[in-house]
């Protein structure tokens, strides 16, 4: 059993920064779990506190049935891969991989066998005699993984392990990591600030902000049903449009536009209620001519994203009645603002975008 359970876990650094704020989280046995959030939200602190590299100021950490809150790192049966890999530059690949086994006083012969076997699994066999400085970034990353794997820990903790790789290598390493985790079946906590990486890799994701968990769910859940505007704004390749709206019977009024109430909102809102309406740029349609009832605004920027374009519109609010030359028609809804103006983005297929 190697589930990880955190109860009211708190970390206050000397100087008073509350990096973890009474955080509750359960990670299941064998799960590939992503911790996602902006820089400074406490991801590394949480990982280091699970590893025992930071002492919790309050609360508890259990790994399986064991309360490890006050155990030193070496007694927790976890392995951590650091963002910068932290390989020993003066040691060979073989010595780096075997290092944790040496600490555990495994004999020389078994260490060499185990290192060779792990290197083989990660495609590093030809590189055992090299030093880290003689390896590419991707190879260094695999050595760091191999070092973590060599002692068969119950838990893998990976702190932004792909962030130092260039874009193409990162995609390769991502696929590799996912396959490796599936094969090993080891409970893995993976830290990233990259929402696409979290969506692509994880069985479940915890979205963090300010030392707290804002939502836990599968990639589909956090993408389709964000629990709050923070998660809505953080998940997605382009940020979700978030606009003020008011419920009016079967419709939503957004500025001067009237949009059908989304099906899944029915029964969850009351007539006259003011709310924030969120809709992804992918789910809006764009029309170059005004459509009655739809949200109308001025095109300000067109960004070419390859197969699609991202069109940004300035949408006037209720009381600014200026002329409009473009429309965003919602299948799922749209966006506006009670007062001033608001910015709305629409993803438009190739060929359908306005002339820049």
Q: Does residue 42 bind ligand ADP (CB under 6 A)? A: yes
φ/ψ bin of 200: left (φ > 0), alpha (ψ from -120 to 50), beta (otherwise): alpha
Least separation in angstroms between CB 124 and Mg ion:
26
Q: Give which of ligand ADP, Mg ion, none residue 42 binds (C-beta under 5 to 8 Å, depending on kind).
A: ligand ADP
Q: Which two tokens stand for residue 228?
A: 């709050």
> How many helices (H) does the chain have, and how many strands (E)?
8, 20
Dist. CA 79–CA 195, nearest whole Å: 24
Task: Pick between residue 40 and residue 332 the one whose CB is nearest to ligand ADP.
Answer: 40
Question: Within 148-187, which residues bind ligand ADP (CB under 6 A)?
Answer: none
Please choose, out of 43-51, 66-74, 149-157, 260-268, the segment that lies near ligand ADP by the rule CB under 6 A: 43-51
Query: Which of 23, 27, 37, 44 is close enough to bind Mg ion by CB under 5 A?
Result: 44
Dist. CA 338–CA 55, nearest whole Å: 48
The distance from CA 346 to its chain's CA centroid, rounded to whole angstroms, is 23
Task: Pick between residue 57 and residue 139 the one whose CB is nearest to ligand ADP.
Answer: 57
Query: Which of 39, 220, 289, 307 is close enough to bind ligand ADP by CB under 6 A?
Result: 39
In what helix (H) or strand (E) does residue 36 lie, and over which residues does it extend?
strand 32-36
Least separation in angstroms between CB 234 and ligand ADP:
13
Nearest to 202 by CA among 188, 213, 215: 188
Contact 296, 288 (CB under 8 A): no
Count other C-beta atoms under 10 Å from residue 188's C-beta: 24
Q: Does residue 16 bind ligand ADP (CB under 6 A)? A: no
Please choose, out of 41-49, 208-216, 266-274, 294-302, the segment that lies near Mg ion by the rule CB under 5 A: 41-49
Dist. CA 9–CA 20, nearest whole Å: 7
Task: Pick between residue 84 and residue 325 the one whose CB is nearest to ligand ADP.
Answer: 84
Q: Give which of Mg ion, ligand ADP, none residue 49 binds (C-beta under 5 to 8 Å, depending on kind).
A: none
Q: Are strands 257-260 and 327-330 parallel, antiparallel or unpaired?
A: unpaired
Task: Pick between residue 49 and residue 309 the one whose CB is nearest to ligand ADP.
Answer: 49
Task: Pick between residue 19 and residue 232 the one whose CB is nearest to ligand ADP.
Answer: 19
Q: Which residue is nearest to Mg ion (CB)?
A: 44
């Amino acid at each position: 059993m190697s589930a990880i359970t955190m109860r009211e876990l708190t970390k206050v650094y000397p100087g008073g920064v509350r990096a973890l704020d009474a955080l509750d989280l359960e990670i299941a046995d064998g799960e590939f779990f992503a911790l996602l959030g902006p820089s400074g939200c406490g991801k590394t602190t949480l990982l280091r506190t699970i590893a025992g590299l930071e002492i919790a100021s309050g609360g508890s950490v259990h790994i399986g049935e064991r309360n490890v809150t006050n155990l030193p790192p070496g007694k927790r049966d976890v392995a951590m891969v650091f963002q910068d890999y932290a390989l020993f530059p003066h040691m060979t690949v073989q010595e780096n991989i075997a290092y944790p086994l040496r600490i555990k006083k495994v004999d020389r012969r078994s260490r060499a066998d185990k290192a060779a076997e792990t290197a083989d699994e990660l495609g590093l066999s030809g590189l055992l005699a090299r030093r880290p400085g003689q390896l590419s970034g991707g190879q260094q990353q695999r050595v760091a993984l191999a070092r973590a794997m060599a002692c068969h820990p119950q838990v893998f903790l990976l702190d932004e392990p792909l962030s130092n790789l260039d874009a193409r290598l990162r995609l390769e390493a991502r696929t590799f990591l996912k396959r490796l985790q599936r094969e090993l079946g080891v409970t893995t906590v993976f830290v990233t600030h990259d929402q696409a990486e979290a969506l692509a890799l994880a069985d479940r994701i915890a979205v963090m902000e300010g030392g707290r968990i804002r939502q836990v769910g599968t990639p589909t859940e956090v993408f389709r049903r964000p629990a709050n505007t923070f998660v809505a704004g953080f998940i997605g390749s382009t940020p979700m449009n978030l606009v003020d709206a008011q419920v009016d019977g079967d419709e939503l009024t957004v500025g001067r536009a009237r949009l059908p109430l989304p099906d899944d909102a029915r029964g969850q809102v009351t007539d006259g209620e003011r709310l924030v309406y969120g809709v992804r740029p992918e789910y809006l349609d764009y029309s170059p001519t005004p459509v009655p009832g739809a949200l109308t605004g001025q095109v300000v920027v067109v960004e070419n994203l390859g197969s699609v374009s991202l069109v940004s519109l300035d949408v006037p609010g209720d009381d600014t009645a200026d002329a409009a030359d473009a429309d965003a028609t919602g299948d799922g809804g749209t966006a506006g603002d009670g007062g001033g103006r608001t910015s709305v983005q629409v993803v438009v297929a190739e060929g359908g975008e306005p002339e820049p």
